[in-house]
Amino acid sequence: MDRAHWWFQGLVAGSVVILPATSALAAPVNVAIAPLVAQQSVPGQPSVEERFAQHFQDLGVEGAIIIHDVNQNVTYQHNRDRNLQPFLPASTFKILNSLIALETGVIINDLAILTWDGIERMVPAWNRDQNMRTAFNLSAVWFYQVLARRIGHDRMQQWVSAAGYGNQTIGSPAAIDNFWLEGDLRITPQQQIEFLQRLHRNDLPFSKAAIATVKDIMIVERTPDYTLRAKTGWAGFGEADQAEIGWYVGYLEQGENVYLFATNIDMRQDSDGPARLELTRRCLRDLNLL
């Protein structure tokens, strides 16, 4: 589950590598790139990869990150093995859940209100009526559980499969409102990047209106220089001796350039909540993107 109260506060081991993008990602476009992306190594200074690794160490977290430069078709990543490991998507699934809910019409639009059921939940801001915009921003679990139940198991499975999301396994009908939190659905950081690429390119099996709405509610920061769209996530393994997992996924648009990112870390203490965001922002700054 996403610990949404940390949303407002923002974000080792493993090698750092730079790899060419896989065939699942789009072909490069010949446009200008950010200066430091073109300067991977400066004599006498740490490389981009070394700086990524230093941020994990400085923030005291273990995990992985991918930043994919769409126009250059270059992927910068820390901890390649982990980036190929599947995890529960947790609240990052709200991106797809929003698309499916809008496409199926179980909610009319992003401003339609769902009435709070009166049950007190862990985040006080959840305990009120919500629309999709507020629920997405607050990561209100109950709101998206209602949408999932309205969508229903068969339609949910159809759309998750059509979108090619992760392992496409949502489990039994009884798991319809928690399969992304503690069920069978899994997605790797690399698959998050591929899903986000398709979202950005309007290459998912949803209407233009649904995609445009979800892109809009994903915006967390907009400046004259860039637009940042993202979603957090926080999930547990269900085993006391293993760390919970934190996500921060999305993409940054800087002019005509697009940079997809997926951050995945072990969540061992509450302060690791904002560390997801801080880690991502530091790595984006290393590429001169913020």
Q: Which residues of 1-31 are buried (b: 16+ CB within 10 A; e: fewer)?
A: bbbbbbbeebbbebebebeebeeebbeeeee
Has 91 been annotated as catalytic?
yes
Which residue has 């809009």 as its token pair? 216
Secondary structure (3-state) at 79: coil
Which residue has 């509450």 as its token pair? 270
Please enumerate, as own/partner, the contacts of 103-109 that have beta carbons within 8 Å and a separation of 24 or more.
103/159, 103/206, 103/207, 103/210, 104/151, 104/155, 104/159, 106/147, 106/150, 106/151, 107/132, 107/147, 107/150, 109/213
Please enumerate, as own/partner, the contacts of 149-156 that have beta carbons within 8 Å and a separation of 24 or more.
149/176, 149/177, 150/101, 150/106, 150/107, 151/100, 151/101, 151/104, 151/106, 151/176, 152/176, 155/100, 155/104, 156/100
Amino acid identity for residue 275 in this structure: A
Query: Which residues face 69 on adjacent strands?
Result: 74, 259
Catalytic member of 15, 47, 91, 161: 91
The tokens for 227 are 């637009």
Q: Give residue 270's Cα distance to chain centre.
A: 19
The tokens for 191 are 């698959």
Catalytic residues: 91
